[in-house]
Structure 1
Amino acid sequence: MIRNRSRWPLTLALCGGYFLVLLDVTVVNVALPQVGSSLSAGGSGLAWVVDAYSVPLAALLLASGAIGDRLGHRRVVLLGLVGFGAASVLCALAPTIGVLIAARAIQGVGAALMLPGTLALLVENAADESARSRCVGMWAAIGGAALPAGPVIGGFLVQAAGWRAVFWLSVPAIALALIPVLRLPRSSTGTKQSDTVDWGGAALLVAGLACLVTAIIQGPDSPRWGVFLGVAAAGLAAWFASAQRRTEHPLLDLPHGAQGALAAACVVAGLMNLCVLGGLFLLTQLFQDMRGLSPWLAGLATLPAMLPLPLLGAPVGKIAARIGVWRTSAHGLLISAAGFVGIAGTISGNGYVILLTSMAIWGTGLGILTPAIVSAALRAVPDSPGAASGASNTSRQTGGALGVAIFAAIAGPADGTSFTAHSTALFISGAAVFALVGVLCLSASRRLTTG
C-alpha cells in the first residue's frame, strides 16, 4: 500500500493518464483541416492521423493487461507514459504527414500499455474498499469527460496556437504524471510469473486490423491493393481465431456459455463507436470547411452530441436495473437513429438550430446506450469482469478505427464535389443501422439479458 500523503497525487496521475488516452481519440479531429493544409495531406492522410492511433490502441488492449500482470503494472504504465510523451513531442514537431502518422502509431502503443494499468494500480494501491470504490468512480468519471472535452480543447488550442499545440498539450501532463508513479515502490506491484502473454495472438490482431483499415482507406485510390489487403486481413483473422482455439493462454479466455451474450454486446459496442467516431470525423470538417466555423466554434458545436455521455451514466444505471440492459440499449439506439436522421437533413443547409437539436438527440441516445451496453458485457461474464471489460473496450476502439476509415473513404476529401452528398448518405445509413440493431436488441432482450 502507498502512504496517505502520496495517494492523491498517484490517483490524479493515473486518472490523468487515462484521460489523455481517451482524449487523443478525438482531440485531433478539429485540427484535421489545419493539418491537411499545413502538411499537404488529403482525405486518406487525415484518416490515418486518427486511425494510426486507434489501430494499435484497439489491437493491443487485450494483450497489455496480461503484459502488466506478468511484468508489473508499474513498469508497464511507466513505459506507456514515456512512449506516449515522446511520441507526442514527435507529433508536435512532425515535418511531414508520414512522420505524423508514424508518431501517432507510437502514441497508440503507449496508450494501450497505459490504459489497463492505470486502473490496476489504482485498485492495488487503495487503502481499503471504500477508497478503492472512490478511486474507480473518479477514474470512470474523468474518462467519461474525455470524449466531450476532446473537440473543445482541440478547437481552443488550434485556434490559439495552431494544430501542433494539440500534441504539446500531453507533454507537461505526462511529465507530471510520471512523478508519483516513479515514487511507487517496486515491491507494491509484484509480478505474476504464471501469467503468459499471447504475443503471437497480439501480433496477429495488430496485423489483421492494420490490413483491414488500410484496405478501407486506400481502397478507393488503389482498388487492387485494397482487395489484396482485404484478403490478407481475412486470412489473418482466420489464423487468429484458429490460434486462439489452440493456445493454452488465449487473449480472451471465456466460459463457453457466456460467449454469445458477450459477442452480442461487443458487436453493438463496436457499431456504436463506428458510427460515432466516423460521424465526428465528418462533422468537424463540415463545420470548418463547409460552414466556415473557426476551430474553437467547431469544437463547441460538438458539445450537444458529446456532453450527454458523462452526464447520463447514473440515471441510465437505474433505468437498466428496472427494465434490463438490452431494452435500455435498444432505446438508446433508436433515439440515436432519430438524431442521425436530423443531422443528415441539415448537412446541406444552414439550419443550425435543427442541426444542434439533432446532435443533442443523437448524444442523448449515446448517453443511454454507452453505459447500458458496457453493463451488458459485464453481466455476460460476471465472474470475469476484466475479460469482459477488455473485450468491450477492444470492440469499441476497433469500431472507432473502422468508422473513421469507412466514413473517410466514402465521403472523400472535404473539398470534393460529392462530400456533402456522401456525408448525408452516411448519416442516413448510420440511422438505418442503429434502428435495425435497436429492433434486434428489443426482440432478443429476453434471451440475452440475465435480469
Structure 2
Amino acid sequence: MGGAAHPAGPVIGGLLVQAAGWRAVFWLGVPVIALALVPVIRLPRSTPRQQPGRNVDWTGAALLVAALTCFVTAIIQAPAAPSSAVLFAAVAACALAALLVIGRRVPRPLLPVSREARRPLGLASLVAGLMNLCALGGLFLLTQAFQDVHKLDPLAAGLLTLPAMLPLPLLGAPAGRLSTRIGVWRTAALGLLVAAAGMVGIAVSLTNTGTGYIVLACFLALWGTGLGVLTPAIVAAALKATPRAPGLASGASNTARQTGGALGIAVFAAVAGSATAPGFSSHSTALFIGSAALFVLAGLLCLGVARSQQSRSS
C-alpha cells in the first residue's frame, strides 16, 4: 500500500508544480493528513492506555531531530559555505553524542533494543536507510536531468520516472511470499542485486547521450523491480528481529528509511551540483555507479546473514 504512493507522487507533484508552483506540493500534505487522522483516531485501541509521556524519551527524540537537521544542513551548505557546514556538522555531532549518553541513563531510551536483537535490527535498519538514500537521491537527479538538461516540463519529468515507480506497489505481495519461501535476508539480497544492475544501466544511459528513452526505461524498471522486492523483505527482517515489539521494529525501520532519504537527497544534490553545470552528467553517473557498488556490498552482507542463520538453525 505504501508503494502505491511512489508512482502517484511524481505525477501528482508534476501536475502541481506545473499548475501552481513548487509550494503547492507541500500544501497537498495538509488535507491528506487531516483525512488520515479521522480513521486513525477512531480506531479501537489494541493496547491498554498508558500514562502520557511515561515511556517516551522526548529528549532523545529532540536530539535525534536536531542531529539529523544539522547534518543535512551541513551537507547542503558544504559546497557554497564550508565554514557554515563545519559549524552545523559540529552541532550535529554534539547532539548525537548527547543522545548516546542520555540513552544509557534513562530507564526507557529512544530505542530500547535487547542485546540479541541489536545486530539484526541494526543491519535491517542500515539496509533500509541505504535503500532510500540511493533511491531518493537518484530520483532527485533524474528529475533534475529531465527538466534542466533535457528541458522537459515537470509533468513530463514525473511521467518519465513511472517505470521505476510502478514495480513497487505491484511487487509487494509477491515479494512477501518470496520472503516466506526463501527467507527475508535472501530476498533482500536479491532485491539489492537487481536494483544495482538497474543503477549501472541508468549510469551507462546517462553517459551515452545517444541512448533512447526505451533503453533508459528498461533500466529504470529493473531498478524499480529491485526496490519492489527489497522493500517488504527488509521491513520483514526488522520485524523478525524484535517479534515481541513490532512497534519498535517498525519505528526503527521507518526512521532509518526517512533518514536515508533526507541524507540521500542532500548528498546527491551536493555532489552532483547544479544541473546546468558542465559536470552534472558525469557526477550523476558516478553517484549511480557508487550506489550500485553499495547495493552489491549490502546484498553480499545480507547473504552472509542468511547463511549464518541457516548454520545456527541446523
Question: 1:263 — aligned with what?
Answer: 122
Give deviations 1:296-353, integer Å, cap 9, x for gaps.
Answer: 1111111111111111111111111111111111111010000000111111414211
CA contact (8 A) 2:3 2:172 kept: no
Equivalents in 2 of 1:405, 1:317: separation in Å?
31
CA contact (8 A) 1:326 1:448 kept: no
Deviation of the 1:149 alpha carbon: 0.9
Question: 2:144 — aligned with what?
Answer: 285
Q: Could you tell me which of 56, 59, 74 is aligned with 1:215? A: 74
**1:360 and 2:221 aligned:** yes
Supply the RMSD in Å over aligned alpha carbons: 2.4
Deviation of the 1:177 alpha carbon: 5.2
Structure 1 counterpart of 2:255, one-letter code = T
Residues 345 and 224 (structure 1 numbering): CA distance in 2 closer, same or farther, change over 3 Å?
Answer: same
Question: 2:235 — aligned with what?
Answer: 374
Question: 2:110 — aligned with what?
Answer: 251
Question: How do 1:322-337 and structure 2 match up within 5 A?
Answer: 322-337=181-196
CA contact (8 A) 2:57 2:109 kept: yes
Deviation of the 1:144 alpha carbon: 2.4
Q: Could you tell me which of 279, 302, 308 is aligned with 2:167? A: 308
Deviation of the 1:393 alpha carbon: 0.3
Question: 2:58 — aligned with what?
Answer: 199
Structure 1 counterpart of 2:287, one-letter code = L
Seq. identity, %: 61
Q: Could you tell me which of 333, 338, 342 is aligned with 2:197? A: 338
Equivalents in 1 of 2:291, 2:37: separation in Å?
41
Deviation of the 1:355 alpha carbon: 0.9
Give deviations 1:124-170, integer Å, cap 9, x for gaps.
Answer: xxxxxxxxxxxxxxxxx2x3211221101111222334334434434
CA contact (8 A) 1:261 1:448 kept: no
Deviation of the 1:185 alpha carbon: 10
Structure 2 counterpart of 1:367, one-letter code = G
Q: Could you tell me which of 378, 394, 397 is aligned with 2:258? A: 397
Structure 1 counterpart of 2:101, one-letter code = S
For normalisation by structure 2, the TM-score amounts to: 0.91
**1:235 and 2:102 aligned:** no
State the secondary structure of the residue aligned to 2:104.
helix
CA contact (8 A) 2:184 2:236 kept: yes
Equivalents in 2 of 1:441, 1:179: separation in Å?
39
Question: 1:87 — aligned with what?
Answer: none
Equivalents in 2 of 1:440, 1:325: separation in Å?
13
State the secondary structure of the residue aligned to 1:437.
helix
Would you say how many aligned residue pairs link Structure 1 and Structure 2? 309
Residues 173 and 373 (structure 1 numbering): CA distance in 2 closer, same or farther, change over 3 Å?
Answer: closer
Residues 428 and 199 (structure 1 numbering): CA distance in 2 closer, same or farther, change over 3 Å?
Answer: same
Equivalents in 1 of 2:10, 2:23: separation in Å?
15
Deviation of the 1:236 alpha carbon: 2.1
**1:411 and 2:300 aligned:** no
Residues 242 and 420 (structure 1 numbering): CA distance in 2 closer, same or farther, change over 3 Å?
Answer: same
Deviation of the 1:176 alpha carbon: 5.0
**1:384 and 2:245 aligned:** yes
Give deviations 1:415-439, integer Å, cap 9, x for gaps.
Answer: 1121111111101110111111111
Residues 245 and 339 (structure 1 numbering): CA distance in 2 closer, same or farther, change over 3 Å?
Answer: same
Residues 174 and 368 (structure 1 numbering): CA distance in 2 closer, same or farther, change over 3 Å?
Answer: closer
Residues 180 and 365 (structure 1 numbering): CA distance in 2 closer, same or farther, change over 3 Å?
Answer: closer
**1:351 and 2:209 aligned:** no
